[in-house]
Structure formats: C-alpha cells, structure tokens
Amino acid sequence: MKKTLLTLCAVVGIASMAMAFSGGPPAGYAGNNGSYCTQCHSSFGLNSGDGMLDLSAMTEYMPGETYSMMVSLSDDGQQRWGFQIAAEDGGGSFAGAFTITDPTNTQLNSGNYVNHTSAGTNAGDPGGNMWSFDWTAPAAGTGPVTFYVAGNAANNNFNNQGDYIYAIEMTVDEAAPALYGLTTTGINTMIPASGGNVTYSIDFFTNVPQSFSNVNYWTTVTLPDGSESNRLAFITTNVPANADIFIPMMAQEIPSFAPAGMYTHNSYLGYFPNAVLMDSFGFEKSANGSNSAPVHGWDASGEWPELTADGESVVDLPTEYALDAAYPNPFNAMTNVSVTLPETANLKLRVTNLLGEEVAILSEGTMTAGQHTFSFDAGDLSSGMYFIHANVPGKMSQVQRVTLVK
C-alpha cells in the first residue's frame, strides 16, 4: 500500500525556503493527524485539482506478512512530484513497519513515514511519478489499518505557489486466520539414475475448536509426462481441536526405472477420495540407470504421531539408547539417521571416512529423551563408505556404516 506526498514547506517565504523540502517533507503531513502540505502550498484547496493520487493495496493483510506497495501521482501541466505515507491502527498508533526498497527515490522519515527524496521528485517530467516500498503488517489482533497518503503535484517554479495538494485514505482489514493449513516441504529432492528417496516434512494446523476422527492422509506423484500415479502413501489419523502437527520426516521411494525429468509430489488430507487440503513440491530424477543396489519400488514410509481426538499423544518414551538405520542407504548426497534416547543426554553424533578422519558433526550437545532425526549432507564428499558414530558418555557408543553413491 502506498501514500504520496511531494514537497512540503515548513515556512512560507522566499524561493530558497520553498525548496528546502524538495528532499522530503517533515514528518506529519500525510494527513493522519489532520495536517497537509496546503499549509505551505496554499494556492489551491486540498484535492481541488484534476490530478490523480493512487495507492496500490491488498484487500486485506495477514499479520507479519510483507507486502510491496506503490504510490502514483499525476496531474496534467505539473512537473515535479512528491509524497508522504503513514499507517495507523484504529487507536491512532502507527501500525506495521515500512521498508525502503528504492533508496534513490524514497526514504524513511522519523521511522514511521515514507516520503520522496530529492531525486525522487522527478523534476521537469510532466508524466507524473511512482514510488515503491514494502510494508510489513503488524501482529495479529491489530485490526483494521488505515493508510494516509498525501501528494504534491508541483509546477517546478522553485516556490510554493501553483502547486496542487492531494490526499487519500485507504483502510485495509486484518484477514481472519486460516481455518486449516497443510504445508509439505521437500528435503531431499534430487534423485539419481539408480533411484532413491524423496524426503519431506509435513506441517498441519487447524484453528477450529472441533476434533476430527479417522482423517485420511494420502499421496501421489505427478510424472514428467503430466500423468498422476495411483495412491502411494495412505495413513488414517485423528485430528484434535486447534491442532498443530509437525512431522519432520516422510519418505517416498523413486525406482530406478522411473523416467528422468521433473516430478511433483502431491499430499492430500481429507476423507479419501475427497480432499479438504492439498499441497505439493517438486523434485527431479536424473537419467535412467542402475548401480549395485538400485531402488525397485514406489514404497512410501513415515508416520504421523498417534493422537486421540482430544489431542493427547499416544507415545511411549523409549527405554534404551539406539542408533537407528540410516535412510536411504546407499544414498546420493543426503541421508537421514535417527538416534533414540531414553533420557536427556549429552549426545555427539559425527561422521568419519575410511581413514578415520572426521568429515561432519551432526550433533554435539544436550538432547531431550525421545527420537531425534539428523540429516547428513555429503554433497561435497566423494563416493565411498562412511561411518556414523553416536556417543553418549558412559551410556552409548554405536557405529553405523553408510555408502555414498554419486
């Protein structure tokens, strides 16, 4: 959203004083406090000309989101341009935060206003002017925000006479929070010719005070030719009221015989086959090929946490230390390994090569009881065998071999 204001004079007088604010007016003349540039540029009444002042605007804002805005000003016969903008909530306090994206033509003023610079007046151009900047919306619960914009369509005669002042206001409502949301984020999205595992995380929430039982989560894959596979993963779960569920790791095998190209992984949530929510991400498979351990199937793996409809987790704490099998293994570039801890412990998880040289540290510090998953990114390492060491002083010392195949 934008507001425009051109040249502002604090003192009416000689031409040199009239030009004092060509580099930006003092704060407080956007109209939010009832003050406008007509106090100095007094030849004509406010909004009495034939020009146009406009602010680009979203119809509503999401708290914390950042929006690009633009103010534009035009008026036939005028040749210099300026603006000022402010944003306030219903209580008259400044709302959100402006960010300068074009420092040549715009600048912050007293932290809460944006206005033109001297270069941003576009002096001598009869075609009007535009200014762009960003605005980050305030926190949830702020309510409607009003943008106040003032613009000066000046005649470039080096004094404050003959200029037209315009002002507009625009109120934007705070968007209601989304009732549901599903986001899938790809982790390993490059699959070699021999096949491998696409891995991803899931973030799901509801903002309703109602629980849902026996909800289905299922997946498909869209192939490079645009066709969609049959159902792959299929999980039935309960969704508690006001749910906030994060699954850090899911996996989908891509076989060696799958064609090369760009794919889309599709996730659905609802009551099969009727989806309420859907999200997707892309991944890529290189040319067909094989190695000593090609992947032959389309198996999907990973679990949602077991939840009752009232939101209580059905989870048993582990009773012993364990370094779980890395997945995938063999792997290309990235594999994931989990460590299970029955109690809070000081865990060091590191990777060495065949010479015993340490090539990566995956964890070093205190971890809480439960299962923790770590990613080993070997993108900069050579093909071969590596060893993952898990150590808790006096409690655990386990080693696992993994094979990197590029």
pLDDT of residue 22: 64
Instruction: Identify the pLDDT of residue 287.
Output: 78
pLDDT at 307: 64
Nearest-CA neighbor of 220 among 249, 246, 252, 191? 252
Encode burial over 50-80: b for 16+ CB neighbours within 10 A, e otherwise: ebebbbebbeebeeeeebebebbbbbeebbb
Residues of the chain with pLDDT under 70: 1-22, 289-296, 306-317
Q: What is the pTM of this model?
A: 0.54
Domains of the chain: residue spans and CATH: 15-174 (2.60.40.4060), 180-301 (2.60.40.3880), 322-404 (2.60.40.10)
pLDDT at 179: 86
What's the rounded Cα separation, in Å, for the pair 134 and 61? 13
